[in-house]
Amino acid sequence: MKFPDLPHQSGFYQGKVRDVYYVGSEKIVMVASNRISAFDVILPKEIPYKGQVLNQLAYFMLNKTRDICPNWLDSSPVPYISIGKKCTPFKLEMVVRGNLVGHAWRTYQSGKRELCGVTLPEGMKEYDFFPTPIITPSTKAEEGHDEDIDENSILDKGIVTPQEWRILKEYSLSLFERGKQIAAERGLILADTKYEFGKIGDEIYLMDEVHTPDSSRYFYASNFLEIIKRGERPAQLSKEFVREWLIENNFMGKPGQEIPIMSESWINTISDRYIKLYEEVTGLQFQPFEPNKSDWEIVKQSL
């Protein structure tokens, strides 16, 4: 639902899955919707409780990583809404990969041995761990697809300064290490994720969501190495299963491709898997919350 304007509202932006209300020059109210996107395309059906899962998991993770770097979050007065600081975003996504999966695997499988300027070792198989986590950035597109970019291009184009790039790399790898630790405590492997950053004055802040199923990929740690050694696919907790379903139904967001029809059964399956991931990662029981317009009054009182 789209809410009415807030007192001192200075702008509104609708992203793929979030609605952002700007309040004055310093605050934002971020509403996590039930929309779902894949291949940079918003799919036609909403997923029950997805927004709540994303918001509550991001809240959990942002509070678990405050000692690594400052972040935008101030409070979450409603389970699917957060209030925080307005940052000037870098037009860059910091993608950190610990395992050869997803886009990295598709690149590798095509025969390429370089991704975003990073040389990929020979002889790797899908799901293998990289010797050390790698950073494969992408541009943050206003419309259409994000694109891979390497460090030299980032600096040549002035997307960030060399000093900012050093800090972004340091923050990203430290956040990934913390994410892996949290996952390991729950019997999971954090295989890859992405981070977005921005600035307030001269200080860099972590923005948006952290270690959620929309931005990350998790596998169960139990018997992981044995499973991939047998050439089998390990069970995962992420949005990748949605992408895989789309690929199987001949959709990858390319021009002329039609989005396949999502049945009610499939929509409920996606919802259940989002909830399961929340519970697996946090160790908390999910409490479904039904949005209503009175939520906005709570938000106003929290500003």
The pLDDT of residue 213 is 84
DSSP lists the bridge partners of residue 30 as 20, 82
The pLDDT of residue 240 is 80
- Planar angle of CA 177, 69, 6, nearest 5 degrees: 120
The pLDDT of residue 1 is 64
Q: In degrees rounded to 5, what are phi and psi of residue 124?
A: -85, 155
Which residues does 250 contact at the CB level (< 8 Å), separation at least 6? Answer: 257, 260
State the greatest distance between any 2 C-alpha atoms of the chain, in Å, as a whole number: 59
The position carrying tokens 């702008």 is: 11
pLDDT (tens, 9 = 90+) of the chain, 303 residues, equals 678 889 999 999 998 899 999 999 999 999 999 999 998 899 999 999 999 999 999 999 999 999 999 999 999 999 999 999 999 999 999 999 999 998 999 999 999 999 999 999 999 999 999 999 999 999 976 555 679 999 999 999 999 999 999 999 999 999 999 999 999 999 999 999 999 999 999 999 999 999 998 899 999 999 999 999 999 999 888 888 898 899 999 999 999 999 999 999 999 999 999 999 899 999 999 999 999 989 999 999 999
At 282, is the secondary structure helix, strand, or coil? helix
Domain boundaries, the chain: 88-242
Question: How far is 181 from 185, CA to CA, in rounded Å?
Answer: 6
Which residues does 127 contact at the CB level (< 8 Å), separation at least 6? Answer: 99, 100, 101, 105, 191, 219, 224, 228, 234
The pLDDT of residue 145 is 60
8 A C-beta contact, residue 34 and residue 47: yes
Q: Which helix (H) or strand (E) holds 244?
A: helix 240-248
> What type of residue sits at position 128?
D
The pLDDT of residue 31 is 96
The pLDDT of residue 191 is 97
Secondary structure letter of residue 3 according to DSSP: P
* Angle of helix 264-282 versus helix 50-64 axis, rounded to 10: 20
CA distances 213 to 231, 272, 274, Å, are: 24, 12, 7
8 A C-beta contact, residue 207 and residue 87: yes
Model confidence, pTM = 0.91
The position carrying tokens 């509202």 is: 9
Kindly report the CATH class assigned to 88-242: alpha beta
